[in-house]
Copies of this chain bind each other. A is one copy, B any other.
Amino acid sequence: MRSRRVNRVISKLYDDALRELSLSSAQLNQLVAISVGQPLGMRAIDLGRALDIEKSTLSRNLARMQDAGWIRQIPQGKHTLLELTPAGESLLAEAYPKWQAAQASAERLLGPQLTAALLKLEP
């Protein structure tokens, strides 16, 4: 109950901050993770594992982000490699200050203990 509610509240915070970029919090998460995997190209399945996102969910989210021109999906045999496009990179750059502001608000809302415990979370 708590995790669902926290998620609604915190996601809304980020969604509000990112709305003018037409970027959702879910998409930001995924773009950031893909960006971390650059420049080798992250494999889609590994992104799913890193974020605990089911493969069908991810498949559709990636399709939307490709349609938006933010990423490229490159079939690599059995796998799919993910790359940010230049548009994706500059979107991330634009999102960065807004993301930081939202992060600060989230920490204020959650308090230091919960924030620390969340960040410490391992698997």
Q: Show the binding face of A for B, using Cβ within 8 Å.
A: 1-11, 25-26, 29, 32, 51-53, 106, 110-111, 113-114, 116-121
Contacts and interface: CB of A to CB of B under 8 A. Distances in A.
A56 to B, nearest CB: 13
Number of this chain's copies in the complex: 2
Contacts of A25: 4
Q: Could you tell me the dominant secondary structure of chain A's interface residues?
A: helix
Given A11-B4, A52-B8, A114 B118 contact: yes
A65 to B, nearest CB: 16
22 contacts: A1-B29, A2-B118, A2-B121, A3-B3, A3-B6, A3-B10, A3-B11, A3-B118, A4-B7, A4-B10, A4-B26, A4-B51, A5-B52, A6-B6, A6-B7, A7-B7, A8-B52, A8-B53, A111-B117, A111-B121, A114-B117, A114-B120
